Chain A
Amino acid sequence: MTIEGGKRRSDLLIAAWTVAVVLFIYMPAFCGLLASLTSSRYFNFPITKWGLAWWGKTFASLEVRSLLSTSITIALIVTAISVVLAFFAALAFARYDWRGRSIYQKIVLLPIFFPQSVLGLALLLWFNALGIETSWKTAVFAHLVWVVPVATLVISIQVYSFDPALEEAAFDLGASRWQVLKEVTLPVLWPGIFSGALFSFLLSWGNFPLSLYTDGADTTVPEYMYAKMVAGYTPGVPVLGTVSTVGAAILLLGGYAFILLVRRKRAASESAA
């Protein structure tokens, strides 16, 4: 009885602590939202003059539109390439047993465990040595170096729960390699691939240190906001920050709901069959 009571109390304490941590995590987003809703030039709390003026001004700005389109273009291309590369990389990471795999796994993890600002600079020197002029295209390459390993890890987690006997059975039944890939491997791994794509897009979208050094004259949203924070504050910064937070939330929650839906549908069709 006392053990049960003590357990319930510790569970409650843990839950309360977690709620506190979540509030801590969302505090800055809340402050940003407040700051974007004032109509005065400088932020002062409590707010006396509320207004949406800065939202209108920010979206009317041509500069902001070009920033958004640069960031989205980079993120979309990075997503497309990294999903393909990471899919094969994850199979080699988690599905197949081969000599050299444990070293391979560590090589793949190295870029994740590496200071990104230093990686950005190293890439800049490398592009310079090759005589390549930096632009948003070189930034795509730089993002890939960091995003593909992360996406590989995300997809790998799904691959680990994949039963190799499924593929082997398909081979025994006479399927070609291509058929096995298309009709067994891909459908089973689909939720992992989808999460990998979501991660790729969002990580590329939010990346600052790699873009800073490798995109030359082109500018992404995080870079612009950083420049404005260090010098020349405008309430457009909190506006863009809020947009970027809400956008990420919609993508993530939408993506998660989509995965749940696919799983439920699959479970339903399996129980029907």
Chain B
Amino acid sequence: MAELVDSASHMAQPQGRPGVNLGRWIAAAGRRHSLPILLLLLLGFVAPLLTIIGFSFMPPRTFSLWQWPSLENYRVIIEETFYTSFLWSLGMAVVTVAILIAICYPVAYGLAKTFGRWSNLVTLLMVLPLFVSENVRLYGWVLFFIKGGVLLGTIKSLFGIELDSILFKPGTIIFGMVYVYLPFMLFPMTLGVSMVPRDLVDAAKDLGASRLQIFREVELPLAMPGIVIGSLLTFVLAVGAIAEAKVLGGQSVIPVTHDIEIAFTYAQNWPLGAGISVMLILIVGALVLAVLRRFDLDRILGRR
């Protein structure tokens, strides 16, 4: 932020004639072109965040921002059992990320290295579900798993066995999150795997490395930025997920997003909901910033 302010102060410098001082023009153009989106994010992202932080310091059950600040909400959050929903949310997100890494790596490898001209089609097939509301897709799984649904109905008509539905269990929530967030892991990972130069793999092979050694010592480290970005993205989305627990989990587990929603709607306690939100933002935000700091985005997104 300091650098941003610092660079903004250079804006007023007199500009050279275009063509003569292209470098300076480019620097000014960069700043100028970034202004609209920065304004949008200031009004639509920074200001709402400040508002929710402000509300978290208001006394319980108030709807105005102009009261004497108090730490009451944070006391309630720490003393009551909200930590269980935090742990459920974080734990389910970690498991989701781990499963997604295992599922997506072979596909990412295929997309980047072995599918050739088919990889466009496969990419398209994988992108498409992103554009259908996740509710709809989760509901499809309800129809699949429900008693008398596609899975149990088929088993019953084929084998005559009646099984219990596996809906409304924590495992089903994780299943739903793995399903919904799969593309968010796959695409960054593909980007990462495609950054592994083929020559390097060939060289390792010529030097007598086994397939496992090549994977562990050449491919994995070089693909790491993509894998980490994908993991980060899916982790954040999974922590913030709300529909999976409701549609597939049937309230068998209460994730932290549900606590937040309850505080805002049924309990009509905005400051408490704001407090829980701020705790969630702090956990997620610290993680995102810590990870993003380590990466050179220009390199990952294509400019070397």
Q: Which residue of B lies closest to A158 (CB)?
A: B302
Interface residues of A in 1-54 (CB under 8 A from B): 3, 6, 10-11, 13-15, 17-18, 21-22, 24-32, 34-35, 43-46
Residues of B within 8 A of A98 (CB): 7, 26-31
Give B208-246 interface residues, CB cut-off 8 Å to A.
211, 232-233, 236-237, 239-240, 242-243, 246
Main secondary structure of the interface of B (DSSP, over half): helix
Interface hub of A34, A45, A203 (most chain B Cβ within 10 A): A45
B106 contacts A117, CB within 8 Å?
A: no
From A13, A44, A85, A119, contact of B37 by CB (8 A): A85
Question: Please, how many residues of chain A have a CB less than 8 angstroms from a CB on the other chain?
Answer: 108
Task: Name the distance in Å between A228's Cβ and chain B's nearest Cβ.
Answer: 9
A148 at the interface (CB under 8 A from B): yes
With most chain A CB atoms within 10 A of its CB, the pick from B3, B28, B34, B237 is: B34
- Please choose the segment from B67-75, B80-88, B146-154, B159-167 that sits at the chain A interface, where 4 or more of its residues have CB less than 8 A away: B146-154
CB of B243 within 8 A of CB of A32, answer no
Q: Of the candidates A45, A125, A145, A153, which one forms a contact with B148 in the assembled complex, judged by CB atoms under 8 Å apart?
A: A45
- Give chain A residues whose Cβ lies under 8 Å from the Cβ of B298: 94, 160
Let me know if A241 and B139 touch, CB within 8 A.
Answer: yes
A and B contact pairs by CB, cutoff 8 A, 6 listed: A14-B109, A28-B137, A34-B150, A91-B30, A104-B34, A203-B130
Residues of B whose CB lies within 8 Å of any CB of A are 1, 3-4, 6-8, 10, 18-19, 22, 26-34, 36-38, 40-41, 44-45, 47-49, 51-52, 55, 63, 65, 103, 106-107, 109-110, 114-115, 122, 124-144, 146, 148-150, 152-154, 157, 179, 182, 205, 211, 232-233, 236-237, 239-240, 242-243, 246-247, 257, 260-261, 264, 270, 273-274, 277, 280-281, 284, 288-289, 292, 297-298, 301-303
- Chain A residues engaging chain B, CB cutoff 8 angstroms: 3, 6, 10-11, 13-15, 17-18, 21-22, 24-32, 34-35, 43-46, 84-86, 88-89, 91-119, 121-123, 125-126, 128-129, 141-142, 144-145, 148-149, 152-153, 156-157, 160-161, 168, 171-172, 177, 202-203, 205-209, 221-222, 225-226, 229-230, 237-238, 240-241, 244-245, 248-249, 251-253, 256
